[in-house]
Structure 1
Amino acid sequence: MIPMTLQDIADVTAGTLVLRGGATAETVVEGLVDTDSRKIGPGDVFVAKPGEETDGHLFAPKAVEAGAALVIDERELDLDVPQIVVANAVEALGALGTEVVRRVRSLGRLREIAVTGSNGKTTTKNLLQAIFSRRGETVAPIASFNNEVGAPITFCRLTASTRYLIAEMGASAPGEITRLTRMAKPDVGIVLTVGLAHAGEFGGIEVTLRSKTEMVQALDEGDVAVLNADDARVRTMAEKTAARVVWFGRGDDADVRASDVTTSLDGTRFTLHVPGEEPVDVHFAVIGEHHVTNALAAAAAAHVEGVSAADVRDALQEVTRAERWRMEVVHRGPVTVINDAYNASPDSMSAALRTLAQIAPPDARTIAVLGEMSELGPYAIEEHDRIGLLAVRLNIDQLVVVGRGARALHLGAIAQGSWSGESRFVEDADEAYTLLEAELRPGDIVLVKSSNSAGLRFLGDRLADLAEGRDA
């Protein structure tokens, strides 16, 4: 964080400053800011946020033991460290993040590139970080820090020398993206897709569309909206923004586009076309044609900021995986495991299954271990059934469906009479592991895919370890 006095922080957060430990109102703090006491080190700021399952105030002593220079809390605690007592810790964190961005902005060098969409935000964020970190100090979210807590934690990491802020902006309800853009208004706003992810929480696809549109509505005339030309719903956003629009996509009408796309177990290859430059060939280690969309979005934002196509190519080719547990390919022994179980929606589940079918050599057996796609609300049964049908149409050799929430997927698959494959239903990840432990054989390609709440990402790790011990 940029240096701020305790009084500055108290004023920004509308809190009451409690001086302890020999501090004064002019004592300067410039450490990291976090709500997780395990991440606090000497000089950092701990925000004691009450939660649904526990209360951050209970962990404040551990944060102080770790060296916290300041605790922001909702009630004064018996700790020998300065405290700022606020009415709402989350709102105070947001106010602090907003002020840090404002102060760094005032120095005149900071550019913010923000990304939203139903799928691909974290992957695109990582690609943007890979590109822009080659040009200057770049701050980007850790993991999926994209909500009212994670975003300001990221914003507070800015320093006076930060040149680029990469912001991932997620939402589970209308108005959340607007709040995030008010904390840190983007210069370049990227919208990837509008799909059924979180549709149950939003209340329908049209509400999702309106919520994602909040990104481009926050942009000013001098800003740029980077929009997916291949998504019909995203295309409608061009009419709702004052910003200049730059299109990315697979079609010839896109400003930044890809051609000659192929995918295999060693990654994805495509030719990148950028206005005013010669096409460049890219070998992208992340597998799956759907990740080309994310790469194009990052390339388009980079183009807006004056990064050459060749530099984009070089950065993309250094990325070895989208993110932990996102289309993460693990070659161990004679079995290949694709662990994509950090998140799942109907669109990303479909894309992962298509990738599995595309990359498998003729003599390989394809196995899809699939869990629940959460937060679909009234769409859940229909969408799980549709994924089961897709697996059959793609001729996936074996399905292992895990958990009651995904049972409709299993039923959808076994209802098809023309399939040479097989689907089996198990209650939990342990049962799935036991089943596969007995059946995995050399040459198998195993996809593990589910929403985070299903917990299959750890099953994917266990299967990779199991595969390592198999004889070829």
Structure 2
Amino acid sequence: MIALTLAEITAAVGGDLRVAGEDTTETVVDGLVDTDSRTMGPGSIFVAKPGAETDGHRFVGAAADAGAVLAIVEHPVDVAVSQIVVPDAVAALGALAKEVVARVRAGGDLRIVGITGSNGKTTTKNFLARILEAEGETVAPVKSFNNEVGAPVTMLRVTESTRFLVSEFGAAAPGSIAHLAGLVEPDVAVVLMVGMAHAGGFGGIEATAKAKAELVAAARVPGTAVLNIDDARVAAMRDLADSRGLRTVGFGQGPAADVRAHDIEVSASGTACVVEVDGERLPLRLRVLGAHHVSNALAAIAAAHVLGVAPADAVARLETVEIAERWRMQPLGSDRVRIINDAYNASPDSMAAALRTLAQITGPDERTVAVLGAMSELGESAGEEHDRIGLLAVRLNIRRIVVVGPEARRLYLAAVGEGSWDSEAVHLPDQDAAFEYLRTELRDGDRVLVKSSNSVGLRHLGDRLGELFS
């Protein structure tokens, strides 16, 4: 974080300062800001966030012992460290992030990109960060830090020398993206897609589209909206961008795209295509598996181009990315038995894309195996969407369909109903049962996809299988 006095921090968060030891209102703090006491070090700021399972106020002492010099709390704690008492610690975290980013922006050349979408946010964020870091100091989220805590924690990592801030915005509810994007007012607003992920929590896909459009509504004017024109709901956000005076750059495979991909080829070694920007044709070979990642790459190239990066440079840097993120189409195992661990998250769109990738990268003498768990947060559409994935797996001729957990049983029943029988489809109660089954079932030449929502935890099963067959 940039250097601020305790008085300045107190004013930013609207709290009541209680100094400790030799501190005064003019004591300067410039360390890490976080809600996790385990990340604290000398000069850091600990935000005591109440939680469903534990309360951050219990760890103020541990944070101070680790070097924290300030705690933002909702009530005073009997620990010898300066404290700012606020009504809401998470709101204070966001307010501090807003103040810090505003100061850096006012005093330098900071450019901010916001990314949202039902799928692909983290991959696109990583792609764009790889492109921009060669241009100057770039701050981007760790993992999927995209909520009311993770996004401000990332924002607070900017300093006077930061040139680019890449923010990833998830939506827990309507208004979430508006709030988070409003903290920084991105210069570039990237909307990837509107899908069924989390649609149950929003009341349907149209409400989800409205929530994603909040990013375009929060973008800084003048600024740019980078929109996926292959997605009709995202493309329709052009009207909102126009009404606000934003420039629009479209990406996709259609002829109207400003940043366009064609001749897409998927193999076990990666994904190749030709990228066309301003009439220039550039071959791109991603090491990341899956045709669906081409759209993420296009979004990153388009956003970087808006920020002044030559498309040829962007393409060259993307080709150095080995995996999108841990547990996202991550190759494990060996050439003998290849495990693709894509179980960090799952929606109907990402599940379908992963299954198609599995089918595309498997040779005629190899066998496809899909290990599938439940997709969460689909609301009333859950049953229908699990049916659809079961049917798709059979129609893609996936040779072994291994369904894990009671919540995914309907996927299994749909596969059986579509004609996957005689042990081609099995339903197992949990990860341990699945591991025991697969350790004897898998054989040389198998290509195995492990896919589920994060809450199901099949990513750990994928790791175990990767280690077993490495």
Partners of 1:433 and 1:63 lie apart in 2 by 39
Equivalent in 358, 362, 366 of residue 368 of structure 2:
366
8 A Cα contact 2:71 2:81, kept in partner:
yes
2:258 is matched with which residue: 255, 258, 266?
255
Identity across matched positions, percent? 58
Kindly report which structure 2 residues correspond to 1:17-166, keeping only aligned pairs within 5 A, or say none. Answer: 17-166=17-166
Q: CA 1:419 to 1:402, structure 2 compared with 1: closer, same or farther past 3 Å?
A: closer
Task: Say if 1:344 and 1:452, in contact at 8 Å, map to a contact too.
Answer: yes
CA positional deviation for 1:40: 1.1
Cα distance per residue 1:111-158 (max 9 Å; x no partner): 001110000000000001000001000000111111111111011100
Helix, strand or coil at the partner of 1:405: helix
SS in 1 for 2:165: strand
Amino acid in structure 1 at the alignment position of 2:71? V
Q: Is the 8 A contact 2:197 2:348 kept in 1?
A: yes
CA contact 2:108–2:160 (8 Å) conserved in 1: no
Letter in 1 for 2:236: T
In 2, distance between residues paired with 1:311 and 1:272?
Answer: 12
In the TM superposition, what is the alpha-carbon distance from 1:279 to its structure 2 partner? Answer: 1.2
Contact 1:392 1:419 in 2 (8 A): no
Asked if residue 9 in structure 1 is aligned to residue 12 in structure 2, the reply is no
State how far apart, in whole Å, the 2-side matches of 1:133 and 1:200 are. 37
Aligned to 2:404: 402
SS at match of 1:106: helix
Deviation at 1:219, TM superposition (A): 2.6
CA offsets 1:169-215 (integer angstroms, 9 cap, x no match): 11021111110121010100000000100011111111101111111
Query: Map of 1:185-224 to 2, 5 A cutoff?
Result: 185-224=185-224
**Does residue 461 of structure 1 match 2:463?**
yes
Aligned to 1:378: 380
Residues 190 and 226, structure 1, Cα contact 8 Å, conserved in 2 = yes
Q: TM-score, normalised by structure 1?
A: 0.97
Instruction: State the distance in 2 between where 1:252 and 1:341 align.
Output: 33
Q: Which stretch of structure 1 is more off in the superposition, 182-191 or 415-424? A: 415-424
Contact 2:333 2:468 in 1 (8 A): no
Partners of 2:119 and 2:345 in 1: how far apart?
A: 9
Distance 2:53 2:203 in 1: 25
- Asked if structure 2 preserves the Cα contact closer than 8 Å seen for 1:345 and 1:374, the reply is yes
Moved more, 455-464 or 38-47: 38-47
Q: Which amino acid aligns with 2:27?
A: T
Which residue identity lines up with residue 9 of structure 2 in the other structure? I
The answer (yes or no) to whether the contact 2:403–2:411 under 8 Å persists in 1 is yes
After superposing on structure 2, the runs of 4+ consecutive aligned residues of structure 1 that deviate more than 3 Å are 418-421
Is this contact kept in 2: 1:338–1:446, CA < 8 A?
yes
**How far is 1:309 from its partner?**
1.4
- Structure 2 unmatched runs, 5+: none
Contact 2:187 2:221 in 1 (8 A): no
Amino acid at match of 1:269: A
When the two chains are superposed, the root-mean-square deviation of aligned CA atoms in Å is 1.1
Given that 1:117 and 1:194 are in contact with CA atoms closer than 8 Å, whether structure 2 keeps it comes out as yes
| Counterpart residue type for residue 330 of structure 1 | L
Q: Does 2:249 match 1:246?
A: yes
Say whether residues 1:267 and 2:265 are aligned partners. no
Displacement after TM superposition at 1:308 (Å): 0.9
**Distance in 1 between the 2:115 and 2:220 partners?**
16
TM-superposed CA distance for 1:421, in Å, is: 7.4
TM-score by length of 2: 0.98
- Which one of 407, 430, 433 corresponds to residue 432 of structure 2? 430
Contact 2:125 2:166 in 1 (8 A): yes
Q: How many residues align?
A: 467
Distance 1:391 1:426 in 2: 17
Letter paired with 2:109 = R
